[in-house]
Amino acid sequence: MIVLSTLAILAAMTMAIIRGLRGPTVYDRVLAVNMFGTATVLLIAVLGFLTGRPDFLDLALLYALLSFIGTVALLKYVSYGDLSSSEHPEEEEDTWTW
């Protein structure tokens, strides 16, 4: 069962990387990175049970807490063009052509 889930997670990682490589829009890539982070969390958890040491579960939790930071920064850059501003720019249509 754990072996099967390991293989399934690795397959999911591969597909996420393919989506991240091919794009074509920024949003596809953001989603791919986010999904890859989730797959890594799951892989760590499953590997912990596979090798008989589930104490790596804490690490999986830490990854889950960390992986969204980059996604938030990237989305902020894509939609605002800046990291510090919180105001939405006037030309809203332009951001969707990315």
Does residue 45 belong to the site contacting another protein (CB under 8 A)? no
CA 7 to centroid of chain Cα atoms: 19
Confirm or reject binding of residue 12 to another protein (CB under 8 A).
Answer: no
Q: Which residues of 36-49 are buried (b: 16+ CB within 10 A; e: fewer)?
A: bbbbbbbbbbbbbe
Check residue 14 for interaction with another protein (CB under 8 A).
yes
CA pair distance 64, 56, nearest whole angstrom: 13
Q: Kindly list the residues in this chain that would bind another protein in the complex (CB under 8 A).
A: 3, 6, 10, 13-14, 16-17, 20-21, 23, 26, 29-30, 32-33, 36-37, 40, 43-44, 47, 50-51, 56, 59, 62-63, 66-67, 69-70, 73-74, 76-78, 81-83, 98
